Amino acid sequence: MTMPEAVFVTEVGPRDGLQSQGAEVSTEAKVRFVDALSGTGLPRVEVTSFVHPKLVPSMADAETVMRGITRLPGVVYQALVPNVRGTERAIEAGADELNVVLSATERFNQRNLNMRIQESVESFRSIHRLAEGAGKHCEIGLAVVFGCPYEGPVPITQVLEVIDRVVDAGAEEVLLADTIGVAHPQAVRAVVEAVRAHWPALTLGLHFHDTRGLGIANLLAGLECGVARFDASVGGVGACPFAPGSTGNICTEDAVQMLLLMGVETGVELETLIDCGHMIRELLGHDVPGRLVHAGSVASAFVAAARRSDGA
Amino acid sequence: MTMPEAVFVTEVGPRDGLQSQGAEVSTEAKVRFVDALSGTGLPRVEVTSFVHPKLVPSMADAETVMRGITRLPGVVYQALVPNVRGTERAIEAGADELNVVLSATERFNQRNLNMRIQESVESFRSIHRLAEGAGKHCEIGLAVVFGCPYEGPVPITQVLEVIDRVVDAGAEEVLLADTIGVAHPQAVRAVVEAVRAHWPALTLGLHFHDTRGLGIANLLAGLECGVARFDASVGGVGACPFAPGSTGNICTEDAVQMLLLMGVETGVELETLIDCGHMIRELLGHDVPGRLVHAGSVASAFVAAARRSDGA
């Protein structure tokens, strides 16, 4: 088991983090938040979601946010799109890449997206065609890979079968998501190894929630299997962290700190990233589960020693 | 890398968790807390600390707590002892095993214990002799193994040198502690492998704080190197979790949930353990960083599926 030399981090705080709390944050603050994030060296930021404003009112300002941000060269500004209409809106507003969510189980897909998986696959095919025409890359965020609240455990064969369909429909990047926080390191390795065995050239990423405190251990397991990209949110935001059953993403700065200590390149400036954690805590007006916001980063002497591999 | 088949968990919440907060918890509540913990199937509970009451006022009720608990067969009731006088008190009060803290660096040892390391080693030798006479087992908790707030990075050779001295003085069990939360999975593996190479028969354990969110990833790395025991506290308590720089232990129930999903035996009944997390949250009167107290355990269907190794 060895870590990749470099890892690609996608910050999903402005979308996944804020989608249940975005109503508390003004459009102007969201723009400032995205701009702060893109200034950290993060290679990709999920800016917003072009869902129907009636379904997710907190994302009703998607166009204004996407148009209001200051573009930095080298940063990919991604948006979530649920369908062709959302894709048209996202392309029109200037999103660089599109993230399409689809589920590994029929019942979750039905409840979350109101479609059968095959309908979602066909919808993705249309989205992909549209995006391709506009020169945009499409990612699939595959929900409930490690377990479904309605169907329970999800066999790996079923995950592979759904990936097979989305790859056929044009997906070049798939993010395996533990939507309800039931993954564990062994399961992560099993799924990652199976997917890589079937599609060695597919760009694979991980999307963990820290619902039960295993997010960073699951990330470690996945990275050590050779996955070199993951989603995270600064502060670990996502729903109210202290409400029963609420689930934030893994915390970007905590994960980046781990990678820094392990000598893995992310291109991210850690202190600036921690500042973004403080920023979102202030914008939300309540505490966040991430730890570096509270403890601060590891002193640079430890990082230097870790890089010398003297075991400090 | 494979996990051990069974792991020995020591609950340190009543001591490490409460030593900075114990003043808020009544003696009677501490007794109830220890009794609840010993009823979960945990094999060892660190009950209290026989330090000087003037130095740690929250542990001034050590005798009363140790004498007040209801002993369950099969559970080891451990106490921290700083010196010979504390050892006499602990033995007199009925502690089963004694935990002696010693540091991997001179400056931390001086600040924390007001002695040079060699003085601490000689003190341990006396403690060990006394304990042996009373038929009690002694553990060494080795502080700042992964980094010191005063000396910075700690070379592995220095850690080995200190372990050499405590083994010579009679230590049969050593717990490697990341006192200030600067360990990372790679460092854990490096230290564990070096220690095991030198003392294959030494009983080795891990003691992590989740200061920077890497506690459970560090635990995973250590267990996968073959270590089969660790310390943790229910609720992840230890100092105020939301105060800047404060540092709780890794959360017992979150760690046990991971092991349960990975098919590793702990003997602990998870739901009863989560109840203890709720209990300490109520006793402290503030929230705790552990996640299962908020999210609940993973549904049993997922555990059953994980045990069938179908990757769910």
Asked if A181 and B297 touch (Cβ cutoff 8 Å), the reply is no
Judged against a pLDDT cut of 70, whether residue B143 lies above it is answered with yes
Q: What pLDDT, on a 0 to 100 scale, did the predictor assign at position B309?
A: 60
CB contact burial A167-205 (16+ within 10 A = b; e otherwise): bebebebbbbbbbbbbbbbbbbbbbbebbeeebeebbbb
**Mean pLDDT taken over chain A:** 93
CATH topology of domain A1-66+74-79+233-312: TIM Barrel (3.20.20)
CB pairs under 8 A between A and B: 181
Q: Say which range, A88-92, A267-271, B153-157, B304-308, has the weakest mean pLDDT.
A: B304-308
Cα separation of A251 and A245, whole Å? 17
Closest CA to A284 of A21, A14, A45: A21
The conformation of residue A13, written as its DSSP 8-state character, comes to I
Asked if B155 and B190 touch (Cβ cutoff 8 Å), the reply is no
Cα separation of B288 and B279, whole Å? 11
**Residue B22's pLDDT band (boundaries 50, 70, 90)?**
low
The 10 Å Cβ neighbour count of residue A159 is 23
Q: What pLDDT, on a 0 to 100 scale, did the predictor assign at position A4?
A: 96
Segment A155-166 shows an average pLDDT of: 98
For residue B307, the chain A residues in CB contact (below 8 A) are: none
Comparing CB atoms, the residue among A154, A181, A291 nearest residue B312 is A154
For residue A257, the chain B residues in CB contact (below 8 A) are: 212-214
Q: Say which range, A154-163, B15-24, B109-118, has the weakest mean pLDDT.
A: B15-24
Judged against a pLDDT cut of 80, whether residue B311 lies above it is answered with no
Q: Are strands B44-49 and B8-11 parallel, antiparallel or unpaired?
A: parallel
Asked if B62 and B34 touch (Cβ cutoff 8 Å), the reply is no
Comparing CB atoms, the residue among A153, A187, A251 nearest residue B301 is A153
Judged against a pLDDT cut of 80, whether residue B312 lies above it is answered with no
For residue B306, the chain A residues in CB contact (below 8 A) are: 153, 184, 186-187
Q: What pLDDT, on a 0 to 100 scale, did the predictor assign at position A312?
A: 38
Please name the amino acid found at residue B234. V
**A301 touches B: beta carbon within 8 Å:** yes
Asked if B39 and B28 touch (Cβ cutoff 8 Å), the reply is no
- Contact at CB, A311 and B210, closer than 8 angstroms: no
Q: What pLDDT, on a 0 to 100 scale, did the predictor assign at position B19?
A: 81
Q: Domain B8-307, CATH 3.40.920.10 — does that match?
A: no
Interface test with B, best of A186, A274, A286 (most B CBs within 10 A): A186
Q: Are strands B8-11 and A97-103 parallel, antiparallel or unpaired?
A: unpaired
**Mean pLDDT taken over chain B:** 93
Judged against a pLDDT cut of 60, whether residue A311 lies above it is answered with no
For residue A296, give how far its alpha carbon lies from the nearest alpha carbon of chain B (Å): 7
Closest CA to A205 of A194, A219, A215: A219
The conformation of residue A138, written as its DSSP 8-state character, comes to E
The 10 Å Cβ neighbour count of residue B300 is 11
Asked if A240 is an active-site residue, the reply is yes
Judged against a pLDDT cut of 80, whether residue A239 lies above it is answered with no
Over residues A286-303, the pLDDT tens digits come to: 888 899 999 999 988 888
**CA A283 centroid distance within chain:** 20
Residue with the larger pLDDT of the pair A68 and A306: A68
Segment B97-102 shows an average pLDDT of: 96
Q: Which two tokens stand for residue B29?
A: 């509540």
Over residues B152-167, the pLDDT tens digits come to: 999 999 999 999 999 9
> What backbone phi and psi angles, to 5 degrees, belong to A243?
-85, 145
Judged against a pLDDT cut of 50, whether residue B243 lies above it is answered with no
Domain boundaries, chain A: 1-66+74-79+233-312, 96-223
For residue A203, give how far its alpha carbon lies from the nearest alpha carbon of chain B (Å): 21
Q: What pLDDT, on a 0 to 100 scale, did the predictor assign at position A244?
A: 46
The conformation of residue B16, written as its DSSP 8-state character, comes to I
For residue A125, give how far its alpha carbon lies from the nearest alpha carbon of chain B (Å): 28
Comparing CB atoms, the residue among A212, A247, A292 nearest residue B212 is A292
For residue B311, the chain A residues in CB contact (below 8 A) are: 155-156, 187, 190-191, 194
Q: Say which range, A45-59, A86-100, A257-271, has the weakest mean pLDDT.
A: A45-59
Location of structure tokens 């075991």? A311
Say which CATH superfamily domain A96-223 falls into.
Aldolase class I (3.20.20.70)
Q: What pLDDT, on a 0 to 100 scale, did the predictor assign at position A238?
A: 83
- Contact at CB, A214 and B212, closer than 8 angstroms: no
- Contact at CB, A257 and B306, closer than 8 angstroms: no
Q: What pLDDT, on a 0 to 100 scale, did the predictor assign at position A87?
A: 98
For residue A213, the chain B residues in CB contact (below 8 A) are: 216, 251, 254, 257-258, 290-292
Q: Residue B254 belongs to what H/E stretch?
A: helix B252-261
Segment B177-189 shows an average pLDDT of: 95
Contact residues, B window 159-188, toward A, CB-based 8 Å cutoff? 181-182, 184-187
